[in-house]
Amino acid sequence: MNAPTPSGDPTTCLSRTSYDAVILDLDGVLTDTAALHAQAWKETFDRFLSERGTSTASSLRPFSIAKDYGPLIDGRPRLDGVRAFMAARGIALPEGGAGDPADAPTVWGLGNGKNRRFTALLQALGPKTDADCLIFVQALRAAGFKLAVATSSRNGHAVLEAADLSGLFDAIVDGNEVARANLGGKPLPDIFLHAATALDAVAERTVVVEDSAAGVAAARSGGFGRVIGVCKSGDPGALTKAGADPVVTSLAAVKVLGPSSPRALPMQVLPHALTYLDTILQAAGQAPLAVFLDYDGTLTPIVERPDLAILEPEMRETLRRLMTRATVAIVSGRSLEDLRTLVGVEGLHYAGDHGFAIDPPDHKKLELAAVADLPTRLDRIEKHFSEELSDILGLRLERKQYSIAIHYRQVDDAAAVARIRACVQARLEGNSGLRLTEGKKVLEIQPNIDWNKGKAVLWILDTLRERGQDCYPIYLGDDITDEDAFKALAPLGTGIVVEGAPHPSFASYRLRDCTEVRAFLEALLAKL
């Protein structure tokens, strides 16, 4: 086996300045279902051949995965695979029709039989996702590439859904779409050109990633800007001969370059973090971990009154154990003092006020000169709100060192909420030193400077790096304000959004609730 093309080779570097989109094959690239396909083909063909008699003629010898699958089947639409294999054996087979039973001696019958066997194997064994490819896909998303899957398999959607990956792609073209649109099969370029059109991309600025010679040849004939061949085993020469620019043994050899422009996706379509914990750790490599955690909605459930969001003892114990294996930071909109009291674990990094107040374990706190005089100004604003809004039932003002949070979760009157908003907006008019940030049933007045949770996390990482700890960051959060951290860390680490109020997220993975957050942390501990 040849070694991957060196990472310094320009053919293994993808930049948004050169390309807009990437189209990936499914089987053998994104998932390792090729073995399931090959086994389904063997069972199908061997049954057919055995039913034709016991002749020792070469035309009736069993299907060979090693010799027959690659040149005759791999990368071709299902029916084309049947035709190619039968032609190679000199067997004339009637076409039949789409309704043929799985045991019918027709092209359609064998194709339907193979699909039935593959579906059974998929349900029994499930698809195995290629970790390097998933890391590659997440890096492409972080750089703003449009993404599509193009596969001849009619089971493309089912495989992606079984692998919990379908939401990562802007377009999916599978064998069913090939048939509907009457596209030619590989080695014709139709499927890739169709996928590029679905992405609103031109072939010259689109990259195709393929593992089969037929797929590489199809992409090359379609005029695509770059064709990357993936050869995990065997001789890569066939992919090179078919026209692959680089041939790599793993997509870890392909570097995704900036400019970084992450894209948000609906949180519910993101892969599940517990399922892909090993992939997350593989992305971290040998680097020590820095785990960043929001408080409300992440470590504790969202409750009607913030003072009732009490950390469970089991979660506190998990944090204590985690800090012995990784750097742990709590990043929250709560005040620093409130946060330290609620968490109650010494030795953590605490970032309150959405990162405006940071207290590391050595207590060398962040000092932002731009907000040095802010507390005095906020005193006046707090007094104003207390006087103007004191009659609104359920309203809660939370004064922090560098911000004021106006909580209206318990305000039932829509007119009262509108009045709160109007009062806040009026106070901010002409005050360029302040800005309004919205969260879950909360309006927050913050300093109008270029600082947020993302900046705070990067500051913590920089301080760790200065001390010789070049950490891989993992950030878990549920709120809109956590998106600043997800976006900042997209090229550097892993963001995990905890599902709450639905919103597009820059995170790479998801967890459902606080219970799953603790399960994830415990699973992480077991791996460290």
Per the structure, the complete domain to which residue 110 belongs is given by 34-125
Give the predicted TM-score (pTM) of the model: 0.72
Residue 421 lies in a domain: yes
Q: Looking at the structure, do residues 434 and 463 belong to the same domain, yes or no?
A: no
252 with 270, same domain: the answer is no
Indicate whether 363 belongs to any domain: yes
pLDDT digits 0-9 by tens, 337-364 = 999 999 999 999 999 988 888 999 988 8
Same domain, 202 and 321: no
The answer to whether residue 294 is catalytic is yes
pLDDT tens string 383-393: 888 888 989 99
Structural domain tally of the chain? 4
Q: Final residue of a domain: which of 447, 472, 501?
A: 447
Of 280, 276, 15, give the one whose Cα is nearest residue 144: 15
In a domain, 2, yes or no: no
Q: Which of 72, 90, 125 is the last residue of a domain?
A: 125
What residue type is 480 in one-letter code?
I
Among candidate residues 222, 257, 292, the one where a domain is terminated: 257
If asked whether residues 135 and 243 sit together in one domain, one would say yes
Looking at residue 426, which CATH number applies to its domain?
3.30.70.1020
Tell me: do 308 and 428 sit in the same domain. Answer: no
Instruction: Assess whether 501 and 356 both reside in one domain.
Output: yes
Residue 299 counted as domain residue? yes
Domain check: are 51 and 188 in the same one?
Answer: no
Residue 88 lies in a domain: yes
Residues 106 and 68 in one domain: yes
What's the pLDDT band for 1 if we cut at 50, 70, 90?
Answer: very low
Residue 325 sits in a domain whose CATH number is 3.40.50.1000
pLDDT digits (tens, 9 = 90+) for 249-272: 999 999 998 655 678 888 888 999
Evaluate whether residue 4 is within a structural domain: no
Give 200-240 pLDDT, tens digit per residue: 999 999 999 999 999 999 999 999 999 999 998 778 899 99
Reduced to 3 states, what is the DSSP secondary structure of residue 2? Answer: coil
Residue from 25, 68, 245, 294 carrying the catalytic annotation: 294
Distance CA(103)–CA(305), nearest Å, equals 64
Residue 182 burial class via C-beta count within 10 angstroms: exposed 0-12, middle 13-18, buried 19 and up: exposed
Residues 84 and 16 in one domain: no
DSSP-derived pairing of the beta strands 442-447 and 472-477:
unpaired
In this prediction, what percent of the chain has a pLDDT beyond 90? Answer: 53
Interatomic CA distance for residues 246 and 261, integer angstroms? 25
Structure tokens at 281: 């750790």
* Same domain (yes/no): 352, 234: no
Three-state secondary-structure class, residue 229? strand
In this structure, the answer to whether residues 299 and 311 fall within a common structural domain is yes
Q: Is residue 5 part of a domain?
A: no
Q: Does residue 157 share a domain with residue 40?
A: no
CA angle 352, 404, 368 (to 5 degrees): 50
Which has more confidence, 2 or 220?
A: 220
Is residue 3 in a domain?
Answer: no
Cα–Cα separations (whole angstroms), residue 253 to 142, 256, 398 = 17, 10, 50
